[in-house]
Amino acid sequence: MATPPAPDRPVRVLLVDDDRDDYLLTRDLFAEIPGSRYALDWEPEFDPALEAVCGGGYDVCLLDYRLGAKTGLDLLTDARSRGCPCPVILLTGQTVWEIDLAAMQGGAADFLEKGRLDATLLDRSIRYALQQRRYEVELQRKVAERTEELAKANEALREADRRKDEFLATLAHELRNPLAPIRNALEIMRMASDNPESVDQARTIVERQVGQMVRLINDLLDVSRITRGKLALQLEVLDLAEVVEAAVETSRPLLDSAGLAFTATVPDGPLMVNGDRLRLAQVFANLLNNAAKYTEPGGQVTLAAARERGHVVVRVSDSGVGIPKDVLPHVFELFTQVDRTLNRAQGGLGIGLALVKQIASLHGGGVKAQSAGIGKGSEFEVRLPAADGKV
């Protein structure tokens, strides 16, 4: 039997002994146990006894050492080789330490001498065997749980390692991309030093590409600060509508260059929150930039702010490539990206949404993502506590 008996049912005991008189004596001993809740069965033959021991119907087995041409140790060995966990107590006519040692090594719970056996000793030995089995079952359960936890942890580590490798490859690509136009622009400035228009155009290219590199590096620094708990917020009571306006100004060039229709809806009256103006603007700019990256030209991006039950809520929606169902639970994890093949024109390090979540959390708020699937757009919702407490 896999587990010990429940307290509300009899303990089923199988006696394997080829001597009927010994069976009758053992039965009488069980009858002497006060308040006995044991149910005793008897099997005199080896092969049927082995099947009964391994059949899962008994809580404990008493094996006589002598079983005709074979021994109780043989039966115990065969049972254990078949994976039968039933507790076994070996009975013998005399104490022989070699047999005692062999029984313990074979997995017997106890070793009893028939000539000294009484009801109290028998009851105590069976109780001990059942308790040991309970310990084994509990240990197996804990080992199985721990094994499962370790398997999950190992899988998480493998996934984190995979994402780290992808991130490093992407980071190298993103940092290298601006170098070629910067190098070309510098060469133009050197060769066309007497052409102010060409120099100005080259300078504009350098400034734009350097700005892109600065944004990447700043994102990396922000992730490092947040994960180490080093990001300090400059909190003030502010109107989130002003923050949204600043974020739209930052993202407008990217939205326009992507050929997207953009609308913003902000209610009349202030949307007061207690927050860091720059960090919250970073949150909404990241969401708008993300929408621009993953929406095809001619698509739609919307931003809507509202008051909802003591919170200020901002939703950024797009008609873009959408988010696969298997990716959706992980979009706010560091270095997670929607499949790049879904949007060949845009890159990214997979840290923008992680920053959005972490900054929102530092403000006592939260963020969630929704998508009906690939090709069906997505929506990101940021929810922050209202500073004025109005519903």
pLDDT tens digits, 264-273: 999 988 999 9
Contact 316, 356 (CB under 8 A): no
Q: Per-residue pLDDT for 307 more than 80?
A: yes
Q: Per-residue pLDDT for 377 more than 90?
A: yes
Least confident stretch, 50-64, 214-228, 259-273, 336-350: 336-350
Q: Domain residues of the chain, as ranges?
A: 11-143, 177-227, 235-385
pLDDT band at 379 (very low <50, low <70, confident <90, very high): very high
Q: Per-residue pLDDT for 354 more than 90?
A: no
User: pLDDT > 70: what percent of the chain?
Assistant: 91
Give the per-residue pLDDT at 297: 94
β strands within 56-203, DSSP E: 60-64, 66-67, 70-71, 88-92, 110-113
Q: Per-residue pLDDT for 346 more than 60?
A: no
Q: Per-residue pLDDT for 345 more than 70?
A: no
CATH architecture of 235-385: 2-Layer Sandwich (3.30)
User: pLDDT > 90: what percent of the chain?
Assistant: 49
The string of DSSP codes covering 299-332 is -EEEEEEEEETTEEEEEEEE-SS---TTTGGGTT
Least confident stretch, 92-106, 131-145, 198-212: 92-106
pTM for the predicted model, two decimal places: 0.56
pLDDT band at 175 (very low <50, low <70, confident <90, very high): confident
Q: Per-residue pLDDT for 177 more than 80?
A: no
Q: What is the mean pLDDT of residues 48-74?
A: 89
State the CB neighbour count (10 A cutoff) for residue 349. Answer: 21
Q: Shortest CA distance to 377 belongs to which of 260, 246, 254, 266?
A: 260
Q: How far apart are CA 148 and CA 158, in angstroms?
A: 15
Contact 326, 287 (CB under 8 A): no
pLDDT band at 342 (very low <50, low <70, confident <90, very high): very low
Give the per-residue pLDDT at 43: 93
Give the per-residue pLDDT at 340: 43
Residue with tokens 């530092």: 362
Give the per-residue pLDDT at 58: 92
CATH architecture of 11-143: 3-Layer(aba) Sandwich (3.40)
